[in-house]
Amino acid sequence: MTKDKGSQRGRHWPTVVDLFSGSGAVTTALKRSRFRVVAAVDNDPIACATYRLNHRSVRMFQHDIRKVDPAIIRKSCLKGEDLDVLVVCAPCQPFSSQNRKRGTDLRSTLILQAGRFAKTLRPRIIFFENVPGLAARDELLDQLKEELGEDYILGDPERIDAADFGVPQRRIRCIMLATLRATPPKLPDPITPKGARIDVRQTIGHLRSLKAGEVDLKDRLHAARKHQDIALKRLAAVPKNGGSRSSLPPELALACHTGLGTGKFSDVYGRMRWDDVAPTLTTGCTDITRGRFAHPDDDRAITAREAALLQTFPPDYKFTGNGSEIQVQIGNAVPVKLVEALTPTFRRVLAEITR
Ligand SMILES: C[S@@+](CC[C@H](N)C(=O)[O-])C[C@H]1O[C@@H](n2cnc3c(N)ncnc32)[C@H](O)[C@@H]1O
């Protein structure tokens, strides 16, 4: 359980409203950096249950964001005062290169809700996090500028790799900052550039080795999926520490993937490498048929706890839902350490912007 009390009481701590709060990764990072999260909005009941479990004192608005009235947040959570930081981590699927319907995905316009909240809450900084595909949506970004109004300057989308910011995972994202009547800042320089990365071993190497289907009774989230016999045979044939399905003998090769050795599915059944960062964790991050999500040594997929640690959630973070619901929440999260690395920049900007 992350500590809640001080962060919610500290008067001098900058205030935050977390839109599209999911299971609470961004909130966790901001609370750890001494920001005071006063309200969160998300419409997914499972993610909201997880959020409440870990952040009991934040007022949760479990609704479609389009139905939430920011004036209520202003009145009841900010006592009528202006806000410091508005977080907008809108769904990324509409901008993802893997979404074949992305041109017509109605969720793409949810990011524009930032304008409606900014007009009422008057934040000094607005923090947007999304996938790099957002940067190519010129029309939408123009619309966003219009929705934010003349008081806000929207910075250019910046492409960053979370691995550069203390996250043991390659995760290329797009960050944008908008600021109230001020020039948006540049993002900080990498704190863990190539050569100084945090790797998989440092992050999950201390956890108990498990067989497929086995549960660590000391931590119910460290529970290995069961695999069918054929999957176990394949896993046993994939070399330890970074091996790929290309090493499978013909009798174990996957019929549907034959001939696709270097292509789209080459990571399926692949193992992570101890001395490297993990691949991007997706909403299928504990499923070996959806990416390079096998453990470096054990013949199994990584557990939800391992996935949560690779997303830099605190080691005691609690999740609600079944296995697939938990992997979706973890895959959707913004890495905690990435946001923590940005908070000195937020503080500097807050100090510079007077209302
Ligand atoms: C990228 S995830 C956010 C991750 C989150 N910020 C974190 O730190 O873990 C996007 C979130 O948007 C939520 N969402 C999608 N459509 C929504 C809507 N119409 N209203 C409110 N929330 C919505 C999803 O439930 C999901 O939790």
pLDDT digits (tens, 9 = 90+) for 107-143: 789 999 999 999 999 999 999 999 999 998 999 999 9
How many C-beta atoms lie closer than 10 Å to residue 181's C-beta?
A: 12
| Widest CA span in the chain | 69
Site of tokens 């549907």: 256
Q: 44 CB less than 6 Å from ligand 1?
A: yes
Q: What is the residue extent of each domain of the chain?
A: 5-192+335-352
Contact of 178 with 155, CB cutoff 8 Å: yes
pLDDT digits (tens, 9 = 90+) for 146-159: 999 999 999 999 99
SS3 label, residue 164: helix
Q: How high is the pLDDT of residue 6?
A: 44
SS3 label, residue 17: strand
Question: Mean per-residue pLDDT for 21-50?
Answer: 98
Ligand 1 pocket test: which of 19, 20, 171 has the largest number of ligand atoms within 8 Å of its C-beta?
Answer: 20
Residue nearest to atom 25 of ligand 1 (CA): 44
Report the alpha-carbon angle 270-273-275, nearest 5: 170
Please state, in angstroms and rounded to a whole number, the distance separating the CA atoms of residues 20 and 126: 13
Task: Using the predicted structure, report yes or no on whether residue 70 has a pLDDT greater than 90.
Answer: yes
pLDDT digits (tens, 9 = 90+) for 151-192: 999 999 999 999 999 999 999 999 999 999 999 999 999 999
Residue type, 184: P
Atom of ligand 1 nearest to the CA of 27: 8
Please state, in angstroms and rounded to a whole number, the distance separating the CA atoms of residues 63 and 40: 10
Q: How far is the CA of 42 from the centre of ligand 1 (A)?
A: 5
The answer to whether domain 5-192+335-352 has CATH 3.40.50.280 is no
- Catalytic residue list contains 92: yes
Q: Among 90-99, 180-189, 329-338, which is the least confidently predicted range?
A: 90-99
Q: How high is the pLDDT of residue 5?
A: 46
Q: How far is the CA of 276 from the centre of ligand 1 (A)?
A: 29
Mean pLDDT over all residues of the chain?
A: 93
Q: How high is the pLDDT of residue 2?
A: 46
Active-site choice (48, 77, 89, 92): 92
Please state, in angstroms and rounded to a whole number, the distance separating the CA atoms of residues 336 and 317: 12
| Burial (Cβ within 10 Å: 0-12, 13-18, ≥19) of residue 313 | buried
